[in-house]
Amino acid sequence: MPVFVFFIVVSLAFYVFYKMKAYRSKDTLEKRWFSSKSSIALGIFVASFGANQMFLFRSTLALVIGLIFIVIGVASAWAGYRAYRHYLPQLTKKSQ
């Protein structure tokens, strides 16, 4: 489905963008913040890839693998979101 392909491409681009920002950052807190954002993008990428596989191939194996990818992607995005919420107040307090 074209919708999932769009999410796959955009989330992969955001993942690479935030990974590069985290790599280039000097501050450890800012590095962790960018890393959490890249984890969210990677989770969306994996979940979108799994959903795309479920709709493209209608076999039982594709459904199981797609479901596993969706679960792993959602878990990664959720962990990244929790880390993002943890580091954001510390980063705004530090910048003030």
Contacts of 60 (CB under 8 A, 6+ apart): none
Once rounded to an integer, what is the mean pLDDT over residues 72-86?
96
Entry pTM: 0.91
Whether the pLDDT of residue 14 is over 90: the answer is yes
As a whole number of angstroms, the distance between CA 34 and CA 88 comes to 10
Residue-level pLDDT at 76: 96
- Categorize the per-residue pLDDT at 4 as very low, low, confident or very high, splitting at 50, 70 and 90: confident
Whether the pLDDT of residue 57 is over 90: the answer is no
Domain boundaries, the chain: 2-95
Once rounded to an integer, what is the mean pLDDT over residues 58-64?
90
